[in-house]
Amino acid sequence: MNEVRISTPQGAAASISLFGAHLMSWQSADGRERLFLSQRSALDGSAAIRGGVPVIFPQFATRGDGMRHGFARNATWRLVEQGNDWAELALAQTDLQRSHFQSWPRAFELRLRFALQDDTLTLRYTVRNTGPQDFSWAGALHTYFALTEFTAATLDGMPFTGALDDIRPATPALRLDTGAGTLLLEQQGFSEWVVWNPGAEGAAASADMDDGDYRRFVCIEPARVDKQVLPAGAEWTGLHTISLIP
């Protein structure tokens, strides 16, 4: 699987798979991995990757008649530009396999830019309607944060106690105590935060997850859960910024 790697002189590093424009790893400058990636996930392009940051487009979960969470996480993106500490990937209608094209016969372009700065990671997610007709879409950056222990972690001071599937209105920022440091999660442009963990039963039922993996992560994602119209020729941009608080 082709990967793009970026890093900073201070020691922060990230790797991005072209399959799904999927952020596989983000290490802060202290060398600690800040994202969870399942050891049972397929990494050969045969299925969506479990962990990291899956890119959701053009529908959230099953809120539509297309593929669950859309096709962007199962498509091969193009590397557009890259520097030492940043990279930008793109996906357009013409890049899609026939099966995906038939399910989404609309002209579009997605751009995802990853940038590192000290102990901050920024993802800029852009959706462009490049066709002559309006279309409706939903999307998210489904971020799996690594935890030392699920029940010991807190979000804005509140502990996690069981399986989660919460959708809450977007606020500018959240604070996640992972047990190995506190992360400040900031967003712009999205309409919701989604907080998710499958719990013990959900993990045991997932073929691409070890039974105990639910204890090692929580997903907190900036999202547009319900489809909204993007007019012909228009574009939308959302930002997801994650910073390690000293």
Q: Please give the angle made by the CA atoms of 172, 178 and 184, to the nearest 5 degrees.
A: 20
Could you tell me what percent of the chain has a pLDDT over 70?
97
What is the rounded average pLDDT of the residues 28-35? 96
Q: Strand order of the sheet with strand 154-155?
A: 78-82, 86-92, 108-117, 120-129, 235-245, 182-188, 173-177, 154-155, 158-159
How many folded domains does the chain comprise? 1
Give residue 98's pLDDT: 72
In angstroms, rounded to a whole number, what is the distance separating the alpha carbons of residues 48 and 24?
12
- Specify the CATH number for the domain of residue 10: 2.70.98.10
In angstroms, rounded to a whole number, what is the distance separating the alpha carbons of residues 195 and 147?
14
pTM: 0.95
Which residue segment(s) compose the domain that 99 sits in? 3-245
Is pLDDT of 245 > 90? Answer: yes
Is pLDDT of 222 > 70? Answer: yes
